[in-house]
Structure 1
Amino acid sequence: MEISYFLLPKAEVAYIKSSASMKDAIEQLELQHYTAIPVIDQDGKYVATLSEGDLLWKMRSTPGLTFETMDQVQVHEIDNRVYNECVFIKAEMEDMLTLAADQNFVPVVDVDRVFLGIIRRKDIIEYYTRNISD
């Protein structure tokens, strides 16, 4: 089965642009109750997934960076400690199982890497649970 059936479209997913500030990223994570969020560039292409850990490591490794100065750091300046793989929209569900083991969600892109949305780990697990039970 193609993963497009399970796609939570971009319009329904919180994401952040790579040009946004670190402060914006933290606020978005807090607002959405997420621990990680997809990052897209100015062309709408998936770049990375930014995690709470990435933000903490940036704060720890940047002398003088405080909550008050976070608006001076852009998301693209923050190192991602783990790279979350994305998948092509025409991928099959079987391709998702390995990724779901390590990622809360899997970003989905088109042939040009334009971000289309995500597939949540919960949906992948439910799919496999139903198919194993049948």
Structure 2
Amino acid sequence: MNIAFFLLPKDEVAFLKSTSTIRQALEKLEHHRYTAIPVLDEKGRYSETLTEGDLLWTIKNTPGLTFETSHRFSISGIQKDRVIKSVYINAEMEDLLSLIATQNFVPVVDDQGVFIGIVRRSDIIEYCSNQLFAIKGT
């Protein structure tokens, strides 16, 4: 099966630009009720994923950084707790499954590394569940 079947396209996914501020990141995460969000570079390529934990540790450990001053700090300097890997749109399901087991979502890129969307773990679990119940029902 092609992973494009599970793709939530870029225009339906909130993301940050690598030039975003910590305040912008906090507000976007809150607005969309995300716990992690993809970060794209100036050319639209997937760069990394920023998590709530990354933000919280940065706020805790950065002198002078508070919510009130967060608009002065870029997300580019934030140390990431873990690396969220992406897959190419033509990747095999096995590649996707090995990542989705440990990531809430997997960023999907084209052959130039340009971000085109995500695959959510919940969609994979729902699909597998439906397949399992369909087999048991027959």
For normalisation by structure 1, the TM-score amounts to: 0.95
What are the within-5 Å matches in structure 2 for residues 1-134 of structure 1? Answer: 1-133=1-133, 134=135
Aligned residue-pair number: 134
Deviations 1:79-108 (A, max 9, x none): 111110100001122322221111111100
One-letter amino acid matched to 2:20: A
Q: Is the 8 A contact 1:50 1:80 kept in 2?
A: yes
Q: Is the 8 A contact 1:8 1:119 kept in 2?
A: yes
One-letter amino acid matched to 2:2: E
Measure the CA separation in 2 of the matches of 1:12 and 1:70: 26
**Is 71-80 or 40-49 further displaced after alignment?**
71-80
One-letter amino acid matched to 1:36: A
Q: How far off its partner does 1:111 sit?
A: 1.1
- RMSD (Å), alpha carbons: 1.1
Measure the CA separation in 2 of the matches of 1:132 and 1:93: 17
One-letter amino acid matched to 2:61: S
For the pair shown, which has the larger CA radius of gyration, 1 or 2? 2
Gaps of 5+ in 2: none
SS in 1 for 2:99: helix
Q: Percent identity?
A: 53
Deviations 1:9-61 (A, max 9, x none): 00000001010100000000000000010000110000111000000111111
One-letter amino acid matched to 1:14: A
Q: Is the 8 A contact 1:105 1:121 kept in 2?
A: yes
**Is 40-49 or 119-128 further displaced after alignment?**
119-128
- In the TM superposition, structure 1's runs of 4+ consecutive aligned residues that sit over 6 Å from their partners are none
One-letter amino acid matched to 1:41: D
SS in 2 for 1:102: coil
Q: How far off its partner does 1:129 sit?
A: 2.3
